[in-house]
Amino acid sequence: MSHTPTALPAAANANDSGSYLFYRHRLVIRVTHWIGVISMAILLMSGLQIFNAHPALYFGAISDFEHPALLITTQEKDGHTIGVTKIGSVTFNTTGLLGLSAGGTDSHAFPSWSVLPSNQDLGGGRRWHFFFAWLLVLNGLAYLAYSLWTRHVQRDLIPTRAQLRTIGASIREHARLNFAHGEEARHYNVLQRLTYVLMLFIVIPLLILAGLTMSPGLDAAFPNLADLFGGRQTARTVHFICAFLVLGFVIVHVAMVVLSGTWNNMRSMITGWYAIQKEAVRHDDPHRS
């Protein structure tokens, strides 16, 4: 119990190599983070499985089968079959990834390596999806309650006014893969904060709400739910778009973890402890003061 954090994470374990460990992530944050990772991965893969049962998206209350907003299918071209993705009236050849993959042996919209279970199994996909949807929601509520109560959201995630003024500089530094060093690394920068707030309070809640709107039971319980989105099929499309926004976030997030110190970041999200270099403030960056 020696790691019990105080209101402000404490510095500890100074060593002679010029760095010290500081307690960055509390236990609840770490546990809910990894439950979230597992849930999201399974929800994405089982969601693609469900999508494969009817690989088309629409806007409005109903499906206008003749005019989907998005359609992933196969078509004949020059005497052989290709995989295509149609967005509105524009058709892209996506053979190898969408519509037709695995050397022409997999004609599902999303390839079998990306879906759960890996064979065509709508019922199985739904089983995985709804179990982990419940887990994601309960885990998310636990995370939110905890981080509002401990003021993690207010203190660490909401960007400060001063930070918002430096947004331009922050973008330039990220573009040069120039990450925070020393004491500065104890706090999330403005781009991190904006991204986390966008995901936690806008994209993921919208994703969940759009998912709930697809339930005929909940549409009866809350008759205006579907109207909020402009119809159930629009909600399904929003659900799909938000899922890919989360996937995009995850890709960038993992890239940032790797570029700014894979092991230090991983240790801090597993054990809580993050190494800070005791610098000698670096003067190699004129934008940093």
Partner 1 sequence: MTIHIDRRRLIAGAAASLVGVTLGGRAAMASSWWDALGSAEALTRTAQRGLLAGAKLAPEFPESSLSPTFRANGSTDPREAAYKKLVQGHFADWRLEVGGLVDTPLRLSLNDLRALPSRTQITRHDCVEGWSCIGKWSGVPLGEVLKRAGLKSSAKFIVFYCADAFEQTLDGSGQYYESVDLVDAFHPQTLLAYDMNNAALTVPHGAPLRLRVERQLGYKMAKYLMKIEAVTGFEKIGGGNGGFWEDRGYQWYGGI
- Interacting residue ranges for partner 1, rule: CB under 8 A: 1, 4-5, 26-28, 31-32, 35, 50-51, 53-54, 56, 58, 61-63, 65, 121-124, 126-128, 130-131, 133-135, 138-139, 141-143, 145-146, 149-150, 214-223, 226, 232-233, 236
In the complex with partner 1, the residue whose CB is nearer, 40 or 56, is 56
Which tokens is 87 given?
Answer: 């967005």
**Beta bridge pairs of residue 22:** 11, 274
User: Please, is 60 exposed, middle or buried when counting C-beta atoms within 10 Å of its C-beta (0-12, 13-18, 19+)?
Assistant: middle
| Rounded distance between C-alpha atoms, residue 149 and residue 146, angstroms | 5
In the complex with partner 1, the residue whose CB is nearer, 182 or 231, is 231
In the complex with partner 1, the residue whose CB is nearer, 127 or 181, is 127
Q: Which of 159, 243, 168 is nearest to 195 (CA)?
A: 159
Minimum separation from the CB atom of position 115 to partner 1 (A): 14
Q: Within 10 Å of residue 180's Cβ, how many Cβ atoms?
A: 16
Minimum separation from the CB atom of position 127 to partner 1 (A): 5
Which tokens is 213 given?
Answer: 């709107």
Minimum separation from the CB atom of position 12 to partner 1 (A): 17
HSE-CB for 53 with a 13 A CA cutoff: 12
Minimum separation from the CB atom of position 13 to partner 1 (A): 20
In the complex with partner 1, the residue whose CB is nearer, 116 or 194, is 116
Minimum separation from the CB atom of position 19 to partner 1 (A): 27
Minimum separation from the CB atom of position 192 to partner 1 (A): 22
Please report where in the chains the tokens 């092991």 appear, as a residue: 263
The CA-based angle 214-72-64, given to 5 degrees, is 55
Minimum separation from the CB atom of position 210 to partner 1 (A): 13
User: Is the Cβ–Cβ distance between 71 and 51 less than 8 Å?
Assistant: no
Helices (H), the chain: 27-52, 122-149, 152, 161-165, 167-175, 190-198, 204-213, 216-221, 225-229, 232-259, 262-270
User: Is the Cβ–Cβ distance between 255 and 175 less than 8 Å?
Assistant: no
In the complex with partner 1, the residue whose CB is nearer, 51 or 110, is 51
Which tokens is 143 given?
Answer: 């995370």
In the complex with partner 1, the residue whose CB is nearer, 138 or 252, is 138
| Rounded distance between C-alpha atoms, residue 63 and residue 214, angstroms | 13
In the complex with partner 1, the residue whose CB is nearer, 22 or 128, is 128
Minimum separation from the CB atom of position 268 to partner 1 (A): 18
In the complex with partner 1, the residue whose CB is nearer, 51 or 275, is 51
DSSP 8-state secondary structure symbol assigned to residue 223: T
